[in-house]
Amino acid sequence: MRQILAVIIGFSFIPILTKKKVPIAYSILISALIMMLLSGLDLNAIGGIFKSTMLEPQKIGQYLTVLEIGALGVLLKKYGFIDIIIDKLNKVVSSKKLQLMFVPALIGLLVVPGGAIISAPFVDNIGDELNIEKPRRAVINLIYRHISLHIMPYSNSLLLVALLLPQVSVYKVIGLNIIFVVIYITIGYFTYIRDIKSENHRNSKESAAKNLLQLLLYTSPIYFAVILNIVFNLPFYIGVLLNILILYLLKPQNTIIKDFIGGIKINIFLTIFGVYLIQATISSFPEFNRILESFLSNPAAMIPAIIGISAFFGLATGYQPASIGVVIPVIAGMSLSVGRMAFLAHVAFAWSFIGYFFSPLHLCQLFTMEYTGVDSSSLYKEYSRFIVLLAIAAVVESFILLMIFK
């Protein structure tokens, strides 16, 4: 019982501290320390948790990847790549309605925490042109900014899945995630985009082809590491460095090393480090894990349990990896086929995302509201249809896939 209380109390501190303006990184670290202290772990056990979290080679590789991705996002913005990408997109995509979706989706490829603040100004400007209400602009920005989170293998959440579920290729999980993404995009389009009135501008075929090639070229520092990983299995912490080399070759800057170092955000590292501390701490709680396993090992209750637990922790923490860190290790310990594990990981991923996405602690949501001047009540009123439709569609998707992966 003590371990269960330690988990509940530890997680409850995350929303409390966040509301008091404590950065999410420190809130998660404090939560991890509270769990350790309240659970009664001895100093040797706590030392072992810190040692494994700091020194495991796979985790070190992920820490490097997260830090490099954060610095890459800073460089792309500082050296004008974002402006070039948006300009080329405007010349390739004639529809302002499509631009509303593509702009945050492209910028979302940076997979940096709170990254919706980068795309918010662009969506806000297009919203002015099309006379869209502010709450709708905010929701559109949030929806399409998060597409890449499900499919970019070096997003924090998918890095965590790859580490905690080594039996399953992360690309199998991504393949199932694409089904959810299609549902998510479609509901977003019919709810918020379809009825917007806009006029398309015409681009010549020659101009569109030229700008498309330039768009692919200037977005290559974002996606090239994924190609290298798929084709050559090159670790992301090396691939992202090659992304930065491409960025330098496209726009040479004498200060790139200084700018790269300046772009490293220690809070990003501390956030993912704190999540790993929580995951390692909970893994050392046999009582808590037995309860989770009892929920998840019952065939009749397995899917509802994964949905409920994943969504709850995502909502409570406003950080998807925190939820994944609780559920995925339990799935990894089950005697299941690779296909079944991939399916369950996908369900946990989708529902931890739903909880996180609609959480009042969601950083992208907070930043977007701040930029657009939308209050939370207006935002959630605008969200309401999307929340209901996405939840219903995700439940249906989960149970249809269950029939396939029995």
In tens, the pLDDT along 155-187 reads: 889 999 999 999 999 999 999 999 999 999 999
pTM of the model: 0.87
Lowest mean pLDDT segment, chosen from 5-19, 26-40, 194-208: 194-208
Q: Judge whether 105 lies within some domain.
A: no
Residue 389 tokens, joined: 């439709």
Looking at per-residue pLDDT, the higher value among 366 and 65 belongs to 65
Sign of the CA dihedral running 92, 93, 96, 101: negative
Instruction: Quote the distance between the C-alpha of residue 191 and its chain's center.
Output: 22
Q: Which residue has the higher pLDDT, 391 or 201?
A: 391
What's the total number of domains in the chain?
1
Residue 386 domain-assigned? yes
**What pLDDT score was predicted for residue 92?**
87
Q: Is residue 134 part of a domain?
A: no
Q: What is the pLDDT of residues 264-323, one digit of tens each?
A: 888 878 888 988 898 889 888 888 878 887 877 777 788 999 999 999 999 988 889 989
With cut-offs at 50, 70 and 90, classify the pLDDT of residue 206.
low
Rama region for 366: left / alpha / beta (φ>0; ψ in -120 to 50; rest)? alpha
Judge whether 64 lies within some domain.
no
Q: Which residue has the higher pLDDT, 83 or 147?
A: 147
**In the predicted structure, residue 202 carries a pLDDT above the cut 70:** no
Which among 65, 23, 51, 24 is positioned nearest to 281, based on CA atoms?
Answer: 51
pLDDT of amino acid 254: 94
**Residue 124 located in a structural domain:** no
* Angstrom distance (rounded) from CA 281 to CA 126: 46
**Domain span at residue 182?**
155-198+286-406
pLDDT tens-digit readout, 23-42: 878 988 999 999 999 988 88
Among residues 135, 148, 142, 81, the alpha carbon closest in space to that of 117 is found at 142
The predicted pLDDT at position 262 comes to 93
The pLDDT tens digits for 31-89 are 999 999 998 888 999 999 999 999 999 889 888 988 888 888 889 888 988 888 888 88
pLDDT band at 114 (very low <50, low <70, confident <90, very high): low
Residue 366 lies in a domain: yes
Between 48 and 3, residue with greater pLDDT: 48
Rounded to whole angstroms, the Cα distance separating 158 from 88 reads 29
The pLDDT of 355-360, averaged and rounded, is: 91
What integer best gives the mean pLDDT of the chain? 88
pLDDT level of residue 199 (50, 70, 90 thresholds): low
217 compared with 93, residue with greater pLDDT: 217
At 144 the pLDDT is 94
Does 307 fall in a domain? yes
Residue labelled with tokens 């990254």: 115
What is the C-alpha to C-alpha distance for residues 338 and 35, in angstroms, rounded to an integer?
Answer: 32
361 part of a folded domain: yes
Q: Specify the pLDDT at position 77.
A: 82
What was the pLDDT predicted at 396? 95
If 0-12 CB within 10 Å is exposed, 13-18 middle and 19+ buried, where does residue 149 land?
buried
User: Exposed (0-12), middle (13-18) or buried (19+): which is 304, by Cβ within 10 Å?
Assistant: middle
Report pLDDT for 390.
96
Backbone angles phi, psi at 255, to 5 degrees: -100, 15
Model pLDDT, residue 62: 84
